[in-house]
A = this chain, B = another copy of it.
Amino acid sequence: MNKFVVGVDLGGTKIYTALADSGGRLAAELMVPTGAREGPEAVIGRIAETVSRVMKEACVGPGAVEAIGIGSPGPLDPATGVVYNSPNLRGWFNVPLRDRLREATGISVFLDNDANLAALGEYYFGAGRGSVNMLYVTVSTGIGAGIIINGSIYRGAGGGAGEVGHMVLSPGGPLCGCGRKGCLESLASGTAMAERAAELVSAGLGKAILREAGDDPGQLTAASVARAAGAGDPEAAGIISGAGTYLGMGMANLINVLNPDRLIMGGGALEAGSLFWDSMSRELAARALGPALGDVTVVKSGLGGKSGLMGAVALALEACGERLPHK
């Protein structure tokens, strides 16, 4: 009899669930809205429902699924399976997600944070194949990372490793969501680009960007900036290249400290376009030390929106002793 696992990528807006065989091949997948406002119990019920739906769709009976891997926005403790309090899941405080989902499904559950699992997904199934020491950095509203060292997720002393968004790069810089100033996230995330646009608009500038936000300053996003830049607006281009430059500095710092063989970039903010990527690459090349720069390949995510899901599948397969190919 074949062995199957289920992977779940729990996000603030969607639950993405798939059934996979022992080689990580997906037999069925499903995406539903999270409905986070309804609270943890409703969300856990909905996750359990997606699990039975993918099993049904693939005609896999209850006994054939050995484990569920689930990635959740953090902070959380992979050892106890508790999600502490996630800014992306309102009303979640100390939710024993692992145990509750096991009770709801009758299947063993393994939990980790979304950035760690996206890294693991890329490592086994995406742009990280063949690497040994790898970083996956996601740039969206925030900036976070998953670190793979010697082929395993590196979690640090308390499961908190990878908080690269709060690396300070400009001590007197903009206020960050964490309350400190000049963190990478306050300089180079999607949120940072939207804030730079809002600053321009408050100063009576940034007309082209504002137009892309329907002339409503409350609707300014990184996407408005990207669209304006795409249409040739120099102010928008300045915001993007500035953010990309800081991102490159941050990535160079990581390369100098960790000397990885692979750096994989993912997250929605990369959709700000090639100017963002090029500014990052230029600064990274200027700031990383020569030998470490020579050791690393910097690439975009190979799995895109699926890296977290595939990482959840890999976590479940690792947990039930599968040795996944990695090359």
Contacts and interface: CB of A to CB of B under 8 A. Distances in A.
A157 B289 contact: no
A164 B160 CA distance: 20
Interface of A is mostly: loop
Contact of A286 (B133, B164, B180): B180
A164 B292 contact: no
Interface in A134-160: 145, 147, 149, 154-160
A254 B252 contact: no
Q: Which bucket holds chain A's interface residue count?
A: 35 or more
B292 A160 contact: yes
A252 B254 CA distance: 14
Contact of A167 (B147, B160, B256): B256
Contacts of A270: none
- Most B CB within 10 A of own CB, among A156, A158, A259: A156
A238 to B, nearest CB: 16
Contact of A160 (B154, B161, B259): B259
A286 B180 CA distance: 8
Q: How many copies does the complex hold?
A: 2
A320 interface: no
Interface in A92-123: none
Contacts of A159: 259
A258 B170 contact: no
Contacts of A9: none
Contacts of A287: 168, 180
Interface in A229-260: 249, 252-254, 256-260
Interface string A163-178: 1101111110000001
A304 interface: no
Contact of A163 (B75, B158, B260, B292): B292
Nearest to A135: B257
Contacts of A294: 158
8 contacts: A155-B259, A160-B291, A160-B295, A164-B257, A167-B253, A168-B252, A169-B169, A254-B257
